[in-house]
Amino acid sequence: MSLLSVTRSILYGGKNNLQKIEVINLLLQQNTSVLTGGTGGGATTRNMSRMKKTRPFWQPKSTRTLYPEELTPSNEAFGSEVISDQHTSSSTTSPLKCEPWPRGVWSEASMRCGVIARKIGVYPMWDNNGRRLLTTLLEVPDNEVVKYIPPEKLLEHTHPKKNNNTHTKEMAALVVGADPIDPRLVTKEYYGVFADSGLLPKKKLTKFLITPDAKLPPGTPLYASHYRPGQYVDVLGTTIDRGFQGVMKRWLFKGMPATHGVTKSHRRPGNIGSGGEKARVLPGQKMPGHMGNKKRILRGLKIWRVNTKYNVMWVQGPAIPGATGSYVYVYDSWYHHCRHTPDNPPPFPTFFQDEEEGVEEEMYHPDLHVFSKPSIAFNEK
Amino acid sequence: MLSAVPRRIFHTFFRKPPAQRVTAKVPPYIRDQLDSNTDNEQPLPHDFRTVYPEFLPDPRPEWRNRLRERLERNDMLTRRSVVAIPEFYIGSIMAVTVGDRNASDKTNRFVGICISRGGTGLRAWFNLRNVIDHQGLEIMYEMYSPLIRNIEVLRLEKRLDEELLYLRDALPEYSTFPLDMEPELLPEGAPVPINDIKVKLKPRPWHERWERKNLQGVQDLGLPQRFYNKAKLHEKPWEKYDLMMEYRATIPEEEQADIFHEIAPHYQQLESSRRQSKRRLAQTSRY
């Protein structure tokens, strides 16, 4: 529902057809899943709760019911050893299973891959005028490209009515995973997704739509330096689940007085419809209901600082959806005034940090005050 | 039977497994072996947590993240290497110079008594209070703001209370300090003196019901007995026995030690600025 309402608002506000379709596809295809162990359905929304969730074709069911296998501790340890041998012994050689692919050249029509990040907290920074900003720290935990889906393959799985634009027919996709997980926890099918790339299964998996010139071979690591200070990003996250809430919390209604003869309706909504000929409640009336646990996207957030050692980026604002520790998806900003320009192109298809020499540990926006610099002095005029 | 259930949680695969299955939402603190080099561990002073309280993170588990806390501490230490932030307590008299775009000489110096202090990490702050031209003034300073040019402790001392907000309702002479006050020096190694002055409050109405706050540093409030009876009803004498409340409000001691050992390489620099501010002799020019 939320995605549809977002798309609808964009549809009416968008500038040309091409973008509208692009955004719809982007939003509809950002199917992401959370690997919840055990019972699963702890966080359900009331909206469309009966709708059966279908997984996209690139993402098989990830978890299975675990049962006591009566393994001795030594067997358990042996299993861990085998897994670590399989996945870490080849650390001296390149993690890429295939030959490196030719790297595309950035153009204004290019769409790069995004990253999966984890929100790790909010803390203040100051700019060069002494103005205090709140920034959210997004950690990019072990992101790796799992799979490249070429346009023709992607087209097979998209609805023809939803994808009838020539531009979007040329879109490809990259499946990206974050945070390795114990392979014994996942299903065989889910493990098979990572077989081609030789990666450990990932805790979090998502798909980013790209143009084919931004394709990356499976196994390519993505770092926080994929983004540079001064760039703008869109961040998609799941808001904190607040459960069933009344109108005062959910819609910030004022409620009714505590005294002056008011009984039993201090936090109630009051009237919900007009009388007369209508004699009904109009659709969209704000009422109590489930609050939170919805996908929300914040657009046009500036990146102030990037730490390449710990893979952390400082993003403008404290209001990125989700609790501390939750996963978010970071995209190049979709806003026109926030896009990359030919004067200042992004690292394309990504920043290959391992190949570069002398990458700075900390990258700052020029407007940001760096703590190692002296205190701000205003000049006499 | 239970012991045969395989412990298959994420931590066991990459780290040393904890002693038992993790059931809490927030995992127990496991000391990071890679980061702590046990060879160079020096004994730390016992008063570290009172001198540098803002290095301890906010204990609310839903806001904690160890990577963020470490990055924050690095930034704090970097800032401290530029501007020395001295040791001070509630009740110390301080002078703060900040860059001010609107001042004639582009800086502003304010002298006052520290009436409250709070915040953790880069959000740390303190409040100074003074009475200037019969007008009470309070300014909140962010300790790590780059606008701060200099922080001076003119008189290092403690008071009997944890917050001196009652000075707002006290006679103005208790919070009046000359702007040209000379720094008073303490002998090296001397303990921080505790000023046991008893402040006289103005008659009611007050900003708060001070009779309910169990204040030590005020003279007899001179209220009718009914106020004390009401205060008795609002007392919470059981809170000092509430172990869970204390647990939620504090960082575990072994984790505190790790945090302070982490900043130990910068200890020399921190201590030198601390000593500088302490070296001021007590000249006892009380007024």
Distance linking the first and last C-alpha atoms of chain B: 76
Domain locations along chain B: 45-278
By C-alpha distance, the chain B residue nearest A130 is B147
pLDDT tens readout for residues A244-272: 999 999 999 999 999 999 999 999 999 99
Q: Note the maximum CA span of chain B.
A: 78
| Alpha-carbon dihedral sign for residues A221, A222, A223, A226 | positive
Q: Give pLDDT < 70 ranges for chain B.
A: 1-46, 273-287
Instruction: Return the HEC string of A206-234.
Output: EEEEECHHHCCCCCCEECHHHCCCCCEEE
Instruction: Return the HEC string of A48-87.
Output: CCCCCCCCCCCCCCCECCCCCCCCCHHHHHHHHHHHHHHH
Q: Which residues contact B207 (CB under 8 A, 6 or more apart)?
A: B165, B168, B169
Nearest to A121 among B65, B82, B148 (CB): B65
A169 pLDDT higher than 80 = no
- Angstrom CA distances, A295 to A32, A45, A120, A271, stand at 10, 11, 18, 30
pLDDT of residue B185: 85
In the block, residue with structure tokens 């065989």: A188
A80 pLDDT higher than 80 = yes
pLDDT of residue A30: 42
pLDDT tens readout for residues A195-209: 888 889 999 999 999
- Please give, rounded to a whole number of angstroms, the shortest distance from the CA of A154 to a CA of chain B: 33
Residue A37 or residue A160, greater confidence: A160
Residue A7 or residue B130, greater confidence: B130
pLDDT of residue A40: 36
pLDDT of residue A354: 87
Interface test with A, best of B2, B9, B10, B13 (most A CBs within 10 A): B13
Q: How far is B158 from B162, CA to CA, in rounded Å?
A: 9
* 3-class SS of residue B165: helix
pLDDT of residue A118: 96
- Predicted ipTM > 0.95: no
A221 pLDDT higher than 60 = yes
Judge whether B190 and B136 are in contact, CB under 8 Å: no
- In chain B, % helix, strand, coil (3-state, to 5) comes to 35, 20, 50
A375 and B99 within 8 Å at the Cβ level: the answer is: yes
Query: Amino acid letter at B109?
Result: R
Nearest of A115, A91, A323 to residue A231 by alpha carbon: A115
pLDDT tens readout for residues A354-375: 888 889 999 999 999 999 999 9
Query: Amino acid letter at A180?
Result: P
pLDDT tens readout for residues A223-240: 999 999 999 999 999 999
Task: Name the token pair of A73.
Answer: 């501790």
pLDDT of residue A266: 94
pLDDT of residue A274: 80
Task: Write down the H helix ranges in chain B.
Answer: 10-14, 48-51, 66-82, 225-233, 243-249, 253-262, 267-278
Q: Which residues contact B104 (CB under 8 A, 6 or more apart)?
A: none
- Please give, rounded to a whole number of angstroms, the shortest distance from the CA of A367 to a CA of chain B: 13
* 3-class SS of residue B65: coil
- Residues in A closer than 8 angstroms to B13, CB to CB, are 80, 83, 181-182
Interface of B with A in 72-91 (CB under 8 A): 72, 75, 78-79, 81-83
A140 pLDDT higher than 60 = yes
Interface of A with B in 68-97 (CB under 8 A): 68-71, 76, 80, 83
Exposed (0-12), middle (13-18) or buried (19+): which is A381, by Cβ within 10 Å? exposed
A86 pLDDT higher than 70 = yes
In the block, residue with structure tokens 């080099």: B37
A123 and B68 within 8 Å at the Cβ level: the answer is: yes
- Angstrom CA distances, B4 to B8, B23, B134, B197, B282, stand at 12, 17, 76, 65, 68
Nearest to B71 among A310, A325, A375 (CB): A310
Mean pLDDT of A90-109: 76
pLDDT of residue A229: 96
The pair phi, psi for residue A261, each rounded to 5°, is: 80, 5
pLDDT of residue A42: 41
Instruction: Return the HEC string of chain A.
Output: CHHHHHHHHHHHHCCCHHHHHHHHHHHHHCCCECCCCCCCCCCCCCCCCCCCCCCCCCCCCCECCCCCCCCCHHHHHHHHHHHHHHHHHHHHCCCCCCCCCCCCCCCCCCCCCCEEEEEEEEEEEEECCCCEEEEEEEECCCEEEEEEECHHHHHHCCCCCCCCCHHHHCCEEEEEEEEECCHHHECHHHHHHCCCCCCCCEEEEEEEEECHHHCCCCCCEECHHHCCCCCEEEEEEECCCCEEECHHHHCCCCCCCCCCCCCCCCCCCCCCCCCCCCCCCCCCCCCCEEECCCEEEEEEEEEEEEECCCCEEEEECCCCCCCCCCEEEEEECCCHHHCCECCECCCCCCCCCCCCCCCCCEEECCCECCCCCCCCCCCCC
pLDDT of residue B113: 97
pLDDT of residue B260: 85
Average pLDDT of chain A, as a whole number: 84
Interface test with B, best of A120, A240, A371, A379 (most B CBs within 10 A): A371
Residue B287 or residue A309, greater confidence: A309
Topology, domain B45-278 = SH3 type barrels. (2.30.30)
A321 pLDDT higher than 50 = yes
pLDDT of residue A47: 56
Q: How far is B128 from B141, CA to CA, in rounded Å?
A: 8
Q: How far is A313 from A233, CA to CA, in rounded Å?
A: 11
Question: A17-29 and A2-13 helices cross at what angle (nearest 10)?
Answer: 170
By C-alpha distance, the chain B residue nearest A74 is B6
* Total residue length of chain A: 381
